[in-house]
Amino acid sequence: MSKKTSQMGILSKISRRRGSAAIEFAFMAPLMVVLAAAVIDFAWYINRFYNIQQVTRDSARIAATVYESDADAGVASVQAALDHSETVFTGLGLDDNLATTDVTYDNGEFRTITVAVTYPHTAMTGGLLNILSVLAGEGNVSPLPDEIFSTFTMAVEIQ
């Protein structure tokens, strides 16, 4: 066998390898895109969830430290919590019109204030993440919740 013939054999093997690599990439690329979308969407959800929890805790903390007279019955505390929630949503770049902030002041034996925040969540990559649910046989639904809910209760400081 001549040297030229052996070089041709090596080149034909390399070109066949390139073809198989392209086919492997064609099979793996969609899977990698879906996994990347899943990582992005879960990170986006966790970021939003953390921000909503922080708004809820801070609003309750601020409301619990507002001076209240017995005649006020929590009006100033509730307003302070609502104002803080709106300010933080605006600062985070979240639409405070989409958020639902409920503040309850309990003037019982132990004065408490409860702040509950609900915010709608939409996936950053649209319906791409729904492919995971379809593959799992659950239908075309998102594996992430449609809304984020957080609640926090604090004792009110009696001054």
Q: CA distances (Å), 109 to each of 81, 128, 140, 158, in order? A: 21, 51, 49, 12
Kindly give, in sequence order, each residue whose CB lies less than 8 Å from that of residue 78, ignoring residues fewer than 6 positions away. Answer: 63, 103, 105, 113
Please tell me which residue, 56 or 72, carries the higher pLDDT value. Answer: 56
Per-residue pLDDT at 48 exceeds 80 = yes
Contact 59, 81 (CB under 8 A): yes
DSSP structure string for the chain: --HHHHHHHHHHHHHHHHHHHHHHHHHHHHHHHHHHHHHHHHHHHHHHHHHHHHHHHHHHHHHHTS---TTTTTHHHHHHHHHHHHHHHHHHT--TTT-EEEEEEE-SSS-EEEEEEEEE---TTGGGGHHHHHHTTS-S--SS-SEEEEEEEEEPPP-
Per-residue pLDDT at 53 exceeds 90 = yes
What would the mean pLDDT of 43-62 be, rounded to a whole number? 91
Please tell me which residue, 157 or 66, carries the higher pLDDT value. Answer: 66
What would the mean pLDDT of 119-126 be, rounded to a whole number? 81
What would the mean pLDDT of 36-56 be, rounded to a whole number? 89
Count of structural domains, the chain: 1
Per-residue pLDDT at 21 exceeds 60 = yes
Give the side-chain half-sphere CA count within 13 A for 26: 6
The whole-angstrom separation of Cα 90 and Cα 97 is 10
Per-residue pLDDT at 38 exceeds 70 = yes
Range of the domain at 101: 3-155
The verdict on pTM exceeding 0.75 is: no
What would the mean pLDDT of 86-106 be, rounded to a whole number? 86
Per-residue pLDDT at 106 exceeds 70 = yes
